[in-house]
Amino acid sequence: MFRYFSILALMLASLTYANENRVLSEIAKLKDEPAVQASVRVERGGPRLFINEEETYPLFAWSFRLLDYTPQFRQAGIEIIYPILHISDGWLSEDRYDWTQFDKFFDSLLKLHPEACFLPRLLLYAPDWWKEKHPEELVTSLLPFNEVVNIATDSLLIGEGGQRWWRNDPQSVSFASSFWKNEMTGMLKHFIDYYERSPLKSRIIGYHIGSGTTGGEWHYFHSWFLPDTSPVMQDYMGYIPDLQSRVQSDYGLFRDPSKQPRVIDYYKRLHHLTADLICHYAGIVKNTSRNRLLCGVFYNYLLENVFIQEGGHLAPKPILQSPHIDFIASPYTYQSSNQEDATRGETDVYDQAGNWLGRGRGLAGDGGYRLLLTSIKRHGKLPFVELDPATYVDKGRDIDYAGSGSNTVKGSLMLLQRDLGQMFVTGSGGWLCDIGAVKGEGWYAPPVIVNEIKKWTELGEIRARLDVSSVSDVAAVYDAKSFFVTKHWYAEKPWEKGAGYQDFFEYWFCDSQARAFHRMGAPMDFLYRFDLNAGDMEKYKLLFMVNLFYLDASEIDRLQNLLKDSGITVVWYYAPGFVSPERLDPKAMQRLSGFQFDILEEPGPMLIQCELPGRGDNTELRFGTLTRERFPRFAVTDKDVEILGRWADNALPAFVRKQLDGYTSVYVGTAPLPVPVLRWLCRQAGVKLWSTEGDIVRASEDAVMLVATSDGKRQLDMHKNMLQVNGQKQGRTLELDMKQGEVGVFVAK
């Protein structure tokens, strides 16, 4: 009897396998194709994607309903499809895996796009049965869990491929759980090995691995609620600060390392835990695929990072230096307007003196990247940017994704031109992210949109011959670790409009300042402090040191040695070097910047009245913030300085410059600096302003993009002769008459 049932079982299994093969007919057609070889290599000025030794333009696509809209992506010339897979759906029990649901999904996509390659995002979450079985491994938090904040939709939506449409899993596994790490390692290995033995090995070019909140962006789970107080985190850390210790800063806007060393150390270790976990899983991808496939992650957002002490990406070096990571991904700007009367979808940002700093999304918005792009490229990682502008078919449901102007065909096309043009010019990669399909029609499905995208996929083919080296002579420099010693984001409650879940420095110094940086009318680089090198002292004429507050003596020495006799102008913001590893150290701040300071401990407005020479009447030129009084502030006491501005409330010097050892040092006590001040500093430093208007300019050695921020005529002065794409203009200096939001792209002749 046993033999009878065994034979019957084998017959049924054979029949099932045969039926499955018939169902998966498209995958079966791939059986004679060789395994794909995919890599990122640095050539002609930047990292580039190669598939089977052929350079491939890295524009790919995702939709919540890929089976509906892959045909349109194919028509647009997109060859790489980007499915999002919740792979724990295939882990059925302790020792049972079943990946056939994903096979069926891939097979259906191949029916729609037989030439397609795939770059899946793998969401590394625990299955529900595992979490129920191991509750001791789950995240717990200091603040009570609030499901209203947590769930982003009225009901849980499950997209094709298993994408869960929620902001945060109500139950999540602690990153400190070594037990889960081992379990996840086994699941990931099994999944990748399965596809290494599948005919799909000829079409899967790599994996984008993700965990944490918001679809795998590696923000720590439950960052809203101040995690992680779980027993496994207690065991890992040995010490977890309580609510008061986390939120309290001992000295106004700063933590004092002499008083809160354990809290500072906790945050350092928390972020390195996340980075080490990412590098571990990236190593699994590379080793299991025998280094044949790409691996990438979301990380390294320094701009527009909410809940930054808990959820920020504050351990950038391990990710940048990992040999297992080929690309680093990020959405672009989401900064909304901070004006009280702003309507939904507007993204205009002002300082509290009334200066318009710029616009993130919408027509004439900068579409600025949240990654420090220059550093990403210097480390040989290909930047991937999520391109998610809503188009006119959305009818206003998700205008936040596009901003003003997206409700018309013309506006939708200009927004796509900006986003795709920026990717093309800067040497980046990216994917069209069709969130619109969650609730309605796909954003990129109409024929007029498909035709526009096709123009860019065709143009992308010429990037293989273009040099994408930086041509900027101005750069903004940042330091992620400063957020370990600055006032906590939660302490800013109630948040001012537009600044929800962000601290003072992230919102005003990083995010809002970036809006103005993008509108200077010149290309600009963005990088981490640790990536500054001797070559930069010859390349750049102007450096903005935005948040270099937390430095040790060797880091200060290195900066001084780099700057000496460089001829550069360097602008130090607020408190450069003020926090040392041991204490608050005003002497270190003075040594780094070259200025002597009085510390103003009486809280006051962070507002400066300008006295810029050559600007005429400056009585109305103020910049900074004033709705909350802050301390400490710093007043320069040197007598041999040129005063450029004073604190508005007490007239003490707060914006000054002087010559040091072969370079110009500028100190400014607050941020953000508005566009007129930035352009003045550029001219003073000898920086070339490419546009006569405050336009958005992106440039590499062989390509330039300009986005007009206003109607009218302007002169574009480039670094060499260029030919306008889809236009008649050519030359080095061009007279342009443009409408607000219009995009011009130029390539080397």
pLDDT tens, residue by residue, 278-317:
999 999 999 999 999 999 999 999 999 989 999 999 999 9
Q: Greatest CA separation found in the chain?
A: 102
The pLDDT score that the predictor gives to residue 144 is 86
Reported confidence tier of residue 398, pLDDT bands at 50, 70, 90: low
Nearest to 260 by CA among 273, 248, 271: 248
How many Å apart are CA 746 and CA 744, to the nearest integer?
Answer: 7
Reported confidence tier of residue 199, pLDDT bands at 50, 70, 90: very high
Q: Enter the CATH code of domain 2-222+275-465.
A: 3.20.20.80
Are the beta carbons of 557 and 583 closer than 8 angstroms?
no
Count how many Cα atoms sit within 13 Å of the Cα of residue 37 in the half-sphere of its side chain. 6
The pLDDT score that the predictor gives to residue 726 is 86
How many Å apart are CA 426 and CA 95, to the nearest integer?
Answer: 46
pTM of the model: 0.94
Domain edges within the chain: 2-222+275-465, 474-685, 697-748
Nearest to 216 by CA among 93, 329, 379: 329
The pLDDT score that the predictor gives to residue 435 is 87
How many Å apart are CA 58 and CA 261, to the nearest integer?
Answer: 44
Are the beta carbons of 706 and 716 closer than 8 angstroms?
yes
8-state DSSP, 343: P
Give the distance from CA 198 to its chain's centroid.
34
Q: What 3-state DSSP class applies to 575?
A: coil
8-state DSSP, 584: B
Give the distance from CA 17 to its chain's centroid.
44
Nearest to 325 by CA among 385, 381, 383: 381
Q: What 3-state DSSP class applies to 315?
A: coil
The pLDDT score that the predictor gives to residue 40 is 98
Reported confidence tier of residue 162, pLDDT bands at 50, 70, 90: low
Q: Is the pLDDT of residue 166 over 60?
A: no
Reported confidence tier of residue 342, pLDDT bands at 50, 70, 90: confident
Query: Between the CA of residue 609 and those of 606, 654, 666, what are the distances in Å?
Result: 10, 9, 16
Are the beta carbons of 618 and 610 closer than 8 angstroms?
yes
Are the beta carbons of 623 and 670 closer than 8 angstroms?
yes
Mean pLDDT of the chain: 92
**Mean pLDDT score, 371-397:** 93
The pLDDT score that the predictor gives to residue 721 is 96
Residue with tokens 């009818």: 395
Give the tokens for residue 397: 């449901």
Are the beta carbons of 267 and 309 closer than 8 angstroms?
yes
The pLDDT score that the predictor gives to residue 397 is 67
How many Å apart are CA 472 and CA 524, to the nearest integer?
Answer: 5
The pLDDT score that the predictor gives to residue 243 is 96
Reported confidence tier of residue 619, pLDDT bands at 50, 70, 90: low
Reported confidence tier of residue 343, pLDDT bands at 50, 70, 90: confident
Give the distance from CA 7 to its chain's centroid.
57
Pairing assessment for the beta strands 703-707 and 696-700 based on DSSP bridges: antiparallel
Query: Between the CA of residue 77 and those of 116, 401, 455, 679, what are the distances in Å?
Result: 10, 24, 9, 40
More confident residue, 500 or 456: 456
Complete DSSP assignment for 250-263: SBTTB--TTT-HHH
Q: Is the pLDDT of residue 406 over 90?
A: no
Reported confidence tier of residue 563, pLDDT bands at 50, 70, 90: very high
pLDDT in tens, 678-692: 999 999 999 999 999
- The alpha-helical segments, DSSP class H, found in 24-65 are 25-28
pLDDT in tens, 103-149: 999 999 999 999 999 999 999 999 999 999 999 999 999 998 765 45
Region of residue 186 (left: phi > 0; alpha: psi -120 to 50; beta: else)? alpha
**Mean pLDDT score, 178-192:** 97
Are the beta carbons of 625 and 508 closer than 8 angstroms?
yes
> Looking at 5-14, 325-334, 554-563, 667-676, which range is the least confident one?
5-14
The pLDDT score that the predictor gives to residue 194 is 98
- The alpha-helical segments, DSSP class H, found in 437-582 are 447-460, 504, 513-517, 534-539, 553-563
8-state DSSP, 549: -
How many Å apart are CA 595 and CA 587, to the nearest integer?
Answer: 10
The pLDDT score that the predictor gives to residue 17 is 33
The pLDDT score that the predictor gives to residue 18 is 39
8-state DSSP, 636: E
The pLDDT score that the predictor gives to residue 66 is 93
Q: Which long-range contacts (CB under 8 A, 24 or more apart) does 620-625 make?
A: 621/676, 621/677, 622/353, 622/355, 622/648, 623/351, 623/353, 623/355, 623/670, 623/672, 623/673, 623/674, 623/677, 624/351, 624/352, 624/353, 624/648, 624/670, 624/671, 624/672, 625/351, 625/352, 625/508, 625/670
**Mean pLDDT score, 35-57:** 98
Give the tokens for residue 368: 């600025």
CB neighbours of 490 closer than 8 A, spacing ≥ 6?
226, 246, 247
User: What's the chain's Rg over C-alpha atoms?
Assistant: 26
The pLDDT score that the predictor gives to residue 256 is 98
> Looking at 147-161, 210-224, 413-427, which range is the least confident one?
147-161
Q: What 3-state DSSP class applies to 297?
A: strand
Give the tokens for residue 403: 């901003």
Reported confidence tier of residue 546, pLDDT bands at 50, 70, 90: very high
**Mean pLDDT score, 149-156:** 48
Are the beta carbons of 51 and 41 closer than 8 angstroms?
no
Q: Is the pLDDT of residue 153 over 50?
A: no
How many Å apart are CA 648 and CA 635, to the nearest integer?
Answer: 12
Q: Does domain 474-685 have CATH number 3.40.50.880?
A: yes
How many Å apart are CA 72 and CA 68, to the nearest integer?
Answer: 9
How many Å apart are CA 512 and CA 517, to the nearest integer?
Answer: 9
Reported confidence tier of residue 400, pLDDT bands at 50, 70, 90: low
The pLDDT score that the predictor gives to residue 404 is 80
pLDDT in tens, 476-522: 999 999 999 999 999 999 999 999 899 999 999 999 999 999 999 99
Give the tokens for residue 616: 């005429």
**Mean pLDDT score, 706-715:** 97
Length of the chain: 749
CB neighbours of 247 closer than 8 A, spacing ≥ 6?
488, 490, 491
Q: What share of the chain is helix, strand, coil (3-state, %, to 5)?
A: 35, 25, 40
How many Å apart are CA 289 and CA 206, to the nearest integer?
Answer: 9
Q: What 3-state DSSP class applies to 487?
A: coil
The pLDDT score that the predictor gives to residue 168 is 52
Q: Is the pLDDT of residue 699 over 80?
A: yes
8-state DSSP, 371: B
